[in-house]
Structure 1
Amino acid sequence: MQSVKVIFVLSVTLAVAFANPRLPPGAPKPLDGDDLSKAKELLVTTLAKLATGDGPNYQVVNVISASSQLVAGSLHKFEVELSNGSESKECTVKIWDRPWLHEQGEATNVKVQCKDESVLEKTW
């Protein structure tokens, strides 16, 4: 009888533990709702700043997926469709924000990797 109770308690504990799986600390978190809206604003703002220098003038056509990850700062990763005015491309955009490096001009690092193209990387 005692072993039946132990098995029952263990079963209930496992059911509760796996009913609401959580991401481990530091794992990428898929974004939706308000978090996705804020991330899209960050993407549009970052691409606009990239265009002010000698970078390309990309416009967001479609956000396929977005995630955020807490690392040394915050890392946003986007799978997107971008347009440069004449054609659309599927690209991966990574925005790594480290606010404590603002004074050194290294707070934001952006990497854009479009299919069949080399990686574009800028830091400011």
Structure 2
Amino acid sequence: MNALTVLLVLGLALAVANAGIPGGLTPLEGERLEEAKATLRSSLEKLASGDGPNYQVVKVKSATTQVVAGSLKKFEVELSNGSDHKDCIVSIWSQPWLKENGTQLTIECEKEGKIEKTW
């Protein structure tokens, strides 16, 4: 009986440890990372189709997601605007239940101002 109790407690502790913190940052890996990269590329294309800069992703250094009144994806990336490469933080906050202005894109690059676009 004691062994069964110990196994149960260890199993619950392991489950809680792997569950993460509700609302906390979760690193993206594997298929979820590839889906997030596709979202990043399409968001940058949408920005370029308007009056925004035409950024291309050179390298994704890290990506996280967080549940905060929607889904907040943050990317540490290297972006290219032609021949110029820059290190940037890109945030995509998605609130799909909103019919208008449900996505906000924010780009912050070193030594440059912040770019924000909502659609």
Please indicate, yes or no, whether the TM-score normalized by the shorter chain is above 0.5.
yes
Q: How many residues align?
A: 115
Q: Give the alignment partner of residue 71 of structure 1, picking from 58, 68, 71.
A: 68
> Which of structures 1 and 2 has the bigger CA Rg?
1
The correspondence for 1:119, drawn from 105, 108, 114, is 114
Q: Deviations over 1:91-111 (max 9, x none)?
A: 000000111212xx2111010
Question: Which residue identity lines up with residue 58 of structure 1 in the other structure?
Answer: Y
Which digits, 9 at most, give the CA deviation of each residue in 1:4-46, with x for residues without a partner? x8xxx5xx94696258443111111100000000000000000
- Structure 1: which 5+ runs fail to align? none
- Which one of 7, 13, 26 corresponds to residue 17 of structure 1? 13
Q: Which runs of 5+ in 2 are unaligned?
A: none
Query: Given the two structures, how large is their TM-score scaled by the length of structure 2?
Result: 0.86
Q: Identity, % of aligned pairs?
A: 53
- TM-score, structure 1 length as denominator? 0.83
SS at the partner of 1:101? coil
Task: Supply the distance in 2 between the matched residues of 1:80 and 1:36 (Cα, whole angstroms).
Answer: 13
**1:82-101 correspondence to structure 2 within 5 Å:** 82-101=79-98
Alpha-carbon distance in 2 for matches of 1:18, 1:81:
36
Q: CA RMSD of the aligned region, Å? A: 2.1
